[in-house]
Amino acid sequence: MKDVKRWLDNFVIKLSINSKPVAGRLRKNSGNVISFLTFSSQYKATRELIELRARVYDDVPEGRIITDANTIIIDVNPAFSKITGYSREEIIGKTPKILSSGLQSKTFYALMWRSLQEQGHWQGEVWNRKKNGDIYAERLNIVAFYDQHHSVSHYVGLLSDITSNKRQQEQLDMLAHYDVLTQLPNRALIVDRFKQAMAQAKRSQTQLAVCFLDLDNFKPINDSYGHHVGDSILIEISRRMTHNIRESDTVSRQGGDEFALLLTDIDSFAHCEQSLRRILDAISQPVVIDDISHTISASIGVTMYPADSDDFDTLLRHADHAMYEAKQSGRNRYQLYNVEQDQLIVFKHHRLLEIEQALLNGEFQLYYQPKVNMLTGDVFGVEALLRWNHPEQGILLPVDFLPIIAGTALEKKLGDWVIEYAVKQLNEWQEIELRPEVSINISSNHLLSSSFFDNLKWVLNEHPLIKPNAIQLEILESSALGDLKAIHDVLERCISELGISAALDDFGTGYSSLTHLRALPANIIKIDQSFVRDLLDDPHDYSIIDGVIGLAEAFRREVIAEGVETTEQGLMLIVMGCLQAQGYVIAKPMPADEFPRWLQNYRPNQEWLECADRQFSPKEKQLKLLKLATSHWHNKFVEYIKSPQDSALAPPIMDIRKCHCGTCITWLKQEKLLKKGSMVFLKQLHETFHQIADSIFHHYQQNDLQTARAELHELQQAFFIMHSTVEQYKTVT
């Protein structure tokens, strides 16, 4: 203000000096007095106007900044200093670049200067930086002033701080476009991004992947530990997904534990598979909340644009269908949508209704497969196995209908039916003096249902003559991937309060068998039939079973093998230390009314009894295993050579380094169970045996069947020598 007054006073003095002498003019013409008075009045009015303008310049809340033609700052008002934090003395002589935040691009400033040059003004919003480093938003209006030569003499900027408005707008945008819990984009925002991505995909001739993701076994965690734990897991899972996608991709929460993903710039489905694998792997890592580790997985359905629809809702619905298929296939995986799968989903929906009606119509029944102690030959129990007596398709196995109802209310309803009828059947058998232990298969979803314990207790109370220890619950290890603690608590309660027992079925097929063995109170471990089936063929399956038996002994659990189909498999299991078995070599599953008659005619396997009576030394055990493996290898090879070339039969392992016989010989050597000379001779016999077999196999592959089959007698002789030698070594010290 003082500068403006000083400038005005100087202007008046200069005006009086440069004019003709005023006093002389007054003496000559009195009219000049009036002119002078008029001038004085105008001067006073002008000065008051200038003072008013100066006050407006200083006192308005908007910032004012004046620069010369080279954008050097020559003046600012107090509001500018209040907004930016720079005093007038600090900013004079600088350029507006001192306020730059770096958030605007070069293109932004280029367009600003083009507008100033072509139109003489520009207005818009700018993010700038205060003296203390804080970023703020301002609304800026710049006007160019010109001199008499039409050249820019000054730039004047008017600015106001709109940061609070921007923050409020951001909060409103966040509420409108983002999920409150996870801060992920919501459905509205991902739809908008899809439209933009679709336009870009058309221009670049690329594809988009729309994915629907649903967490597996999330509800049991949420129900058992509370929503605060569930929310923490959702936040962590959201963070992991965001971390494992590109900036151009989008993860959106659709609600609950469901998410949508938009993957852009995709060349092919194989391209997006890399991202899907990373996401699944990230989600499956344990989440620790309050020192408790939670393991969770996800199922993902995927569909592609433009191969599929260009409507986002349709794409998401198709991805949802594919996700359902991924869950039915075992969870923790992704599935690409196609029309055939969609039709299959429709079929499964109809099948689900059909299964529910079948339960009402009484079309389900229980079959029972005996379990024996190979050491004694005693039949100590049966496993209850569900069958669907379909009116048109006949007897259907569980694999034909149980996967369809997995995770549904019908799964629990059918599970309750199985328990009720198995216990009822046990009661009927006890009335005729039959008291087998009955094993009942239970899914983890059924086990974790709120009514499971009460329903089981009610069924047992309805049959008070049944001893609870005659009931055994079998839970699939592969289904125990949810909340181990909750599963443990339910099983522990059933064992301690009801007196029943528990078994861990299909042991070894889960991803964390040791964890399950330690965490679940199961006193029986069932070796999965997939390992038993190839026990005599694959050394790896032998090693797995041997490991399971060792674990059972270490954890003081009993062990039973399922799927035993040959006497030789049973013999090998006995030698390994597994004495309980069930399988077709004993009996196939049968209706309840056939079991008493079967039991009356049952005769124990004599070879098993004879083998079980013996106490094997470590050397005898390994030689017995070698003898069994050699016999099996020889018989399988002969059967293969005698079969037609278009037969579905497969040869045994031909690689001498990988076959079961070679593995047994290696074990004998490592344990030093034979003398060196005997070991060398046995190894030579095995090599000769394989050399003959390789020659026969070569002729067979060359379609020279006559020569191949003619040489089988030579193989038979080599087998006899090796077999006899192994038998002899069993008695040699």
Model pLDDT for residues 461-498, shown as the tens digit of each residue: 999 889 888 999 998 756 555 577 888 889 999 999 99
73 burial level (CB within 10 Å; 0-12, 13-18, 19+): buried
CA 316/CA 303 separation, integer angstroms: 8
Task: Report the pLDDT value the prediction gives residue 604, as an integer from 0 to 100.
Answer: 95
pLDDT score at 41:
60
Q: Which of 164-178, 343-357, 710-724 has the lowest mean pLDDT?
A: 164-178
Task: Give the tokens for residue 166.
Answer: 């921007």
Query: For residue 554, what pLDDT is reported?
Result: 86
Tokens encoding 84? 């930016």
Stated pTM of the model: 0.56
CA dihedral 318, 320, 322, 323 (to 10 degrees): 170
Q: Is the separation of the CB atoms in 272 and 263 below 8 Å? A: yes
Percent of the chain with pLDDT over 70: 88
Residues 6+ apart with CB under 8 A from 444: 217, 475, 476, 479, 480, 481, 482, 487
- How far is 395 from 427, CA to CA, in rounded Å? 25
| Amino acid identity, position 220 | P
pLDDT tens column, 370-411: 999 999 999 999 999 999 999 999 999 998 899 889 888 899
More confident residue, 611 or 240: 240
The predicted structure's pLDDT at residue 168: 77
In 430-543, DSSP assigns E strands to: 437-442, 471-476, 501-507, 524-527
Cβ pair 10, 47 in contact under 8 A: no
**If you average pLDDT over every residue of the chain, what do you get?**
86
Instruction: Give yes or no for residue 123 having a pLDDT over 90.
Output: yes
Amino acid code (one letter) for 524 = I
Position 2 scores a pLDDT of 47
The set of long-range contacts for 194-202, using a CB threshold of 8 Å and a minimum separation of 24, is 194/262, 194/312, 195/312, 197/248, 197/262, 197/264, 198/305, 198/310, 200/264, 200/265, 201/264, 201/265, 201/305, 201/306
- Out of 30-39, 367-376, 580-589, pick the least confident: 30-39
Q: Is the pLDDT of residue 36 over 90?
A: no
Reduced to 3 states (helix: H, G, I; strand: E, B; else coil), residue 366 is strand
Rounded-to-10 torsion of CA 375, 379, 381, 384: 120
Cα of 531 vs its chain's centroid, Å = 27
Q: Is the pLDDT of residue 347 over 70?
A: yes
152-161 vs 63-68, strand pairing mode: antiparallel
Q: Does 623 score more than 90 pLDDT?
A: no
Q: Phi first, then psi: give them for residue 36, nearest 5 degrees.
A: -65, -40
Is 165 a residue whose pLDDT tops 90?
A: no
Specify the pLDDT at position 419: 96
Which of 362-371, 477-486, 692-701 bottoms out in mean pLDDT, i.e. has the lowest? 477-486
Measured in whole angstroms, the distance separating CA 434 from the mean position of its chain's CA atoms is 48
Flag the least confident range among 286-300, 501-515, 600-614: 501-515
Angle (CA) 363 366 370, round 5°: 160
472 CB-near residues (< 8 Å, 6+ apart): 381, 437, 438, 439, 440, 500, 501, 502, 503, 524
pLDDT band (50, 70, 90) for residue 620 = confident
